[in-house]
Amino acid sequence: MSFLSFFKRYKNFGIFFSVLCIIIIVIIYNILNVKKPLPIYQPAMVSEELVDSTIQHKIKYHRIADFSLINQNGEIITQNTYKDKIYVADFFFTSCQTICPIMTDHMYQIQKEIINDDEVMLLSHSVTPRIDSVAQLKKYAKEKGVIDRKWNLTTGDKKHIYELARKSYLAVKTQGNGDMYDMIHTENFMLIDKKRQIRGFYNGTKPEDIEKLLKDIKTLKEES
């Protein structure tokens, strides 16, 4: 049998086999490139030094607790302010001269990226609320280019903020040498979904982490 005769005889099979191979390759490619959902962080998944001892072993159903804070305009900010919103949270203080300026600059960068996105907001908590009065927060907000409708800088009762930090956001360490509500904030930014679950931790001083955070916001929006 000549090569030409062989090719003609198995032509249809060859076409079918080629098409099948293409389909299989496309399926494998799509499987490998499917975006994985972001993790839902639980207290047991986070370093114990950042988590209150009462919830360190909690492995499911963790949510950001209800809160009531005061922003740079003297307005009451609660969980309802962020209802059906994705938001980025952090802890800071206005007189900090180390990591806070970098973190605030990166929050400002995120603000620029989400400025026209009604689904996403920012929330910063002062760890020195007695010093960071409404007037001080307002001054800081003006200096840093905070847009009120996108970003709340908040103060309030120190115990309440401490409990939010340790029992909800899993974001600060205890001072250990002051009163029981002293806090050492970390550089962490937390990504919170519309169900008030933590979906990511990011180093707020690193540009590469900010890029990842912005990508994860897009992933979270596709999920919700």
Q: pLDDT tens per residue, the chain (224 residues)?
A: 444 554 455 555 555 555 565 666 655 544 554 668 999 999 999 999 999 999 999 999 999 999 999 999 999 999 999 999 999 999 999 999 999 999 999 999 999 999 999 999 999 999 999 999 999 999 999 999 999 999 999 999 999 999 999 999 999 887 544 455 677 889 999 999 999 999 999 999 999 999 999 999 999 999 86
Q: Are 113 and 81 in contact (CB under 8 A)?
A: no
Our CA angle for 148, 123, 39, nearest 5°, is 140
User: Amino acid letter at 171?
Assistant: A
Question: Model pTM?
Answer: 0.83
Q: Beta strands 86-92 and 76-78: pairing type?
A: unpaired
User: Amino acid letter at 147?
Assistant: I
Tell me, what DSSP letter sits at residue 15? Answer: H
pLDDT at 13: 56
Residues 115 and 8: their CA atoms lie apart, in Å, by 63
pLDDT at 184: 84
Residue 18 CA, distance from chain mean position: 45
pLDDT at 115: 98
Torsion of CA 148, 204, 95, 46, to 10 degrees: 110
pLDDT at 176: 46
Q: Are 165 and 137 in contact (CB under 8 A)?
A: no
